[in-house]
Structure 1
Amino acid sequence: MSFFYSTHAVKKYTVLSAGTSRETALAALHNHGLLISLNPLVISFGPISGPEDSPPATKHYEIEDRVYLMPGKLWPSEVKYTAEFTDEEDGVRVVTHAPMGFEGRTKWSVEEVEGGFAIVEDATLRCPMPLMPFIKATSKSSHDKMHVSLSEKIEKGEVKY
């Protein structure tokens, strides 16, 4: 039932250093393996077949994360989930489905800002209410680190996986 669900929206900007090209930033976002592997929670991933009616441009992956269910990295657990990546002209759209009713919809894009470009992550997370504090905290921590790693890779031109 939908009234047991909670939704959280987050938008994060990471400004790239001057001189970083839009093309290099887009190449990083279109490199699904790079984007997935930069999430510090990910311990494995691989391509999978999508539904027959899936658009050919959409690529499907099974991803496994290691999460800690208690503060202080206590009670580690592995969780497998699927993600659909669809490259777009200005970035990539990702739809994630995980156990216990979690769904994430994220648009990663490259936007022009004063003096250069920024990586923008615009996400909507939806899950049962009791899970939302854990989802928000885990997502914020991992994606903050991911933005730092991604911007470093882009600025160094290391966008091949």
Structure 2
Amino acid sequence: MFSLNTTATLHHVTPLPRTISPTAAINLLHNHDFLIRLDPEYVSHEALPSSPSSPAAKRYQVTDHMNALPAGLWDTTVKFEAEMTNLEDGISWLIKAPLGLVQRTTWRCLKTEAGEEGQGEGEGWCLVEDVEIEANRILVGTVKGKCEGNWRGAHAKFLKGLEGEAERV
């Protein structure tokens, strides 16, 4: 049977500076306010009550300004629910947006070995982002394109935040 829904997956890796400890990176990944604001289309957010089915997760209503969506799909301002769960090595996000869009994202701080994922000699640490987008075919393509266009900037802002944290210590 033909389905209008589909799934897209993305995988992005950014090496962390050797001067940054993995603990500092994980602590910053657990700073939900900071992470939510990495979105280049961010407008605002507010905390929501915890869900009885996921008491460890923190819930937020996030408002974004979406100026690149196909005409008529969404207003220019979109509100969606984000559920964020701290993990031992990072964070897991579950986003539920209008039109049945569901996006699952993990950001983790993982150890790499020499020559792996952009590392030079010796071991290092990387920020690893894995994304799964589920929605109708048109929307998945649009959201995937936005994720591909935005991840480098979001990772760069994360690294800048890490460097700022290191300077404060």
Normalised by the shorter chain, which TM-score bucket? 0.7 to 0.9
Equivalent pair of 2:12/2:151 in contact (CA under 8 Å): no
Identity %: 29
Equivalent pair of 2:45/2:63 in contact (CA under 8 Å): yes
Partner secondary structure for residue 68 of structure 1: coil
Partner secondary structure for residue 76 of structure 2: strand
Q: Which amino acid aligns with 1:5?
A: N
Question: Deviation at 1:132?
Answer: 2.0
Question: Deviation at 1:46?
Answer: 1.2
Show the 5 A alignment for 1:143-158: 143-157=151-165
Partner secondary structure for residue 69 of structure 1: coil
Could you state the TM-score of these two structures normalised by the residue count of structure 1? 0.88
Which residue is equivalent to 2:118?
A: none
For each residue in 1:22-43, what CA deviation from the matched residue of structure 2 results, as whole angstroms up to 9, or x when unmatched?
Answer: 1110011000110001111111
Question: Deviation at 1:64?
Answer: 0.6
Q: Which amino acid aligns with 1:20?
A: I
Which residue is equivalent to 1:110?
A: 109
Which residue is equivalent to 2:129?
A: 121
Report how many residues are paired. Answer: 156
Which residue is equivalent to 1:41?
A: 41
For each residue in 1:52-83, what CA deviation from the matched residue of structure 2 results, as whole angstroms up to 9, or x when unmatched?
Answer: 3322x210000011111369xxx970100001
Alpha-carbon distance in 2 for matches of 1:94, 1:100: 18
Q: List runs of 5+ in structure 2 lacking aligned partners.
A: 114-122
Question: Deviation at 1:139?
Answer: 1.7
Q: Which has the larger radius of gyration?
A: 2
Which residue is equivalent to 2:68?
A: 69
Question: Deviation at 1:159?
Answer: 10
Q: Which amino acid aligns with 2:7?
A: T
Q: Which amino acid aligns with 2:112?
A: V
Which residue is equivalent to 1:18?
A: 18
Which residue is equivalent to 2:29?
A: 29
Question: Deviation at 1:143?
Answer: 2.3
- Alignment RMSD, CA only? 2.4
Higher strand share: 1
Equivalent pair of 1:69/1:76 in contact (CA under 8 Å): no
Question: Deviation at 1:51?
Answer: 2.7
Change (3 A) 1:108 1:32: same
Alpha-carbon distance in 1 for matches of 2:145, 2:167: 28
Equivalent pair of 1:27/1:159 in contact (CA under 8 Å): no
Question: Deviation at 1:100?
Answer: 0.5
Equivalent pair of 1:103/1:126 in contact (CA under 8 Å): yes
